[in-house]
A and B are shown apart, each in its own frame.
Chain A
């Protein structure tokens, strides 16, 4: 990822959206579902490439199908969600790697280095702002439904619709990050900062602040390290072949997570 303005705007708005959505994903204990859901984008990307359509459109379509699937299963039974999600989305990853052409596969899995086209960047920022707006607007409803869906119902909150809206917001956040982080790693940018925040924060406000802060800072640090690696030629990197951003960002986030394990709450 070059540090041009368009890339930076997309990366930062995506990080804020991921930090916010991640808070509710982690509090709702859907860590596995979150990770698996991002894998479902792969067959979408593969099919789109085969059909000569924009890969991102294919990814979004499949992600929305995945969100509907999780939602449907969750409504029927709470117990088997993790199992069904795990199996279905592992299958999606397998099917996706079969239909995705070889040279595109690595980019789809781990993110590419190409900067987004202006239209893509604009759409990316718009979607990120939409997701951020949704979480801020629905925050209170999400909190009440998280603590008790039954209490939420008596408060007049349409719990099922809210859950679907959240899963859609989640899927769109995954789609935002596919370009940079890839199918395998985007789930981590959503989950890791929120997991760190849940350990360190005492309050919702604190959790939002820490999660968004960690997501933004790891994105920035990742971009910086990638451009440094290209400029200095670390591990054979060059301007033509820089390190992919995704793995770098996720390694930084994971390091912060492990460092936070030793951090005692004040």
Chain B
């Protein structure tokens, strides 16, 4: 895979909320990530405009999480990853490996990040309210929360410190179906309200179609980048996932 993914002409619709000629939120050039001899990502280039919602799709093992971990500087990489000046990242990882009996309450977790990022105390309550967590969840131990509650807590955790870019690694993976839809709505509402740039790894193609302004597909030697209605074609998806794929596409 050595395609240049910079779009031939940046569609203005994707960056409607960004001022004209604003620098992109993120520029990635010739990114390569290796784990030992395994190449997770090879020569990947794309730009993310401010205020856009980029969905990263692809089969398992395509390097989606590796891409995110390179973007936050958690794994070594070759190539260039350039975040716009003044970028404040919020990151929601796929899953956390924590003990169920860890004696840390939801409120203590958020308060710790609030103090680290120097945010005002009111941020903790705002974050709780934003993600729709009931106030009584604050005093519960984080290991005792349900999958949906925990995922919402992680979104709230990411929101502390007023980030302008949010990265979500499969935020709805451990959430039941009813919860997935409300969580997607929550993420989208947060993005709209704060004019954030969002990048989101997802297997939920209907949600991608509904909420994303750009789609980045990775995997099986294929890479594509563009608006969802151009990228989520049956040909692309079959090639990407290796088999014909069905998804519900809600016409607006």
Which residues of A does B touch, CB under 8 Å?
27, 29, 139-141, 143-144, 147-151, 153-157, 197-199, 201-207
Q: State in angstroms the CA–CA spacing of A91 and B207 once bound together.
A: 56
B102 located at the interface, meaning its Cβ lies under 8 Å from any Cβ of chain A in the complex: yes
Q: Is the CB of B104 within 8 A of A204?
A: yes
Q: Is the CB of B116 within 8 A of A207?
A: no
Q: Is the CB of B112 within 8 A of A154?
A: no
Give 16 new A-B contacts, CB below 8 A, not counting A140-B111, A206-B103.
A140-B115, A141-B112, A144-B109, A144-B112, A144-B113, A150-B91, A151-B158, A153-B74, A153-B91, A154-B163, A154-B167, A156-B117, A197-B103, A198-B101, A201-B103, A207-B103
Across-interface contacts of A154 in B (CB, < 8 A): 72, 89-91, 163, 167
B:119-171 near A, CB below 8 Å? 139, 141-142, 157-158, 161, 163, 167
B96 located at the interface, meaning its Cβ lies under 8 Å from any Cβ of chain A in the complex: yes
The winner among B74, B109, B112, B158 for most chain A CB atoms within 10 A is: B112
Q: State in angstroms the CA–CA spacing of A14 and B7 once bound together.
A: 61
Q: State in angstroms the CA–CA spacing of A155 and B119 once bound together.
A: 12
Contact with A along B186-226 (1 / 0, CB 8 A): 00000000000000000000000000000000000000000
Give min CB distance, A107 to chain B, whole Å: 36
The winner among B93, B158, B167 for most chain A CB atoms within 10 A is: B93
Across-interface contacts of A155 in B (CB, < 8 A): 113, 116-117, 161
Q: State in angstroms the CA–CA spacing of A98 and B78 once bound together.
A: 48
Instruction: Report which of A29, A143, A157 forms a contact with B104, defined as CB distance below 8 A.
Output: A143
Instruction: Report which of B69, B98, B163 forms a contact with A150, defined as CB distance below 8 A.
Output: B69
Across-interface contacts of A203 in B (CB, < 8 A): 103-105, 108, 139, 141
Q: State in angstroms the CA–CA spacing of A151 and B156 once bound together.
A: 12
**Total contacts A to B, CB within 8 angstroms?**
77
Q: State in angstroms the CA–CA spacing of A143 and B110 once bound together.
A: 10
Q: Is the CB of A150 within 8 A of B108?
A: no
Q: Is the CB of A151 within 8 A of B93?
A: yes
Q: Is the CB of B112 within 8 A of A140?
A: yes
Q: Is the CB of B105 within 8 A of A148?
A: no
Across-interface contacts of B109 in A (CB, < 8 A): 143-144, 147
Q: State in angstroms the CA–CA spacing of A147 and B163 once bound together.
A: 19
Q: Is the CB of B157 within 8 A of A151?
A: yes
Across-interface contacts of A140 in B (CB, < 8 A): 111-113, 115-116
A-B contact pairs, 23 of them (CB 8 A): A140-B112, A143-B104, A143-B112, A150-B72, A151-B157, A151-B158, A153-B73, A153-B74, A154-B72, A154-B89, A154-B167, A155-B113, A155-B161, A157-B116, A197-B103, A198-B101, A198-B102, A199-B101, A202-B105, A202-B141, A203-B108, A204-B104, A207-B103
Q: State in angstroms the CA–CA spacing of A195 and B113 once bound together.
A: 25
5 smallest A-B Cβ distances: which pairs? A154-B89, A140-B112, A201-B103, A143-B112, A154-B91
The winner among A147, A149, A156, A198 for most chain B CB atoms within 10 A is: A147
Q: Is the CB of B72 within 8 A of A204?
A: no
Give min CB distance, A121 to chain B, whole Å: 34
Instruction: Report which of A147, A197, A199 forms a contact with B98, defined as CB distance below 8 A.
Output: A147
Across-interface contacts of A29 in B (CB, < 8 A): 99
Q: Is the CB of B108 within 8 A of A204?
A: yes
Minimal Cβ-Cβ distance residue in A for B158: A151
Given A141-B116, A144-B116, the answer on whether A202 and B103 have CB atoms closer than 8 Å is: yes
Q: Is the CB of B113 within 8 A of A148?
A: no
Q: State in angstroms the CA–CA spacing of A151 and B96 once bound together.
A: 10
Give min CB distance, B121 to chain A, whole Å: 13
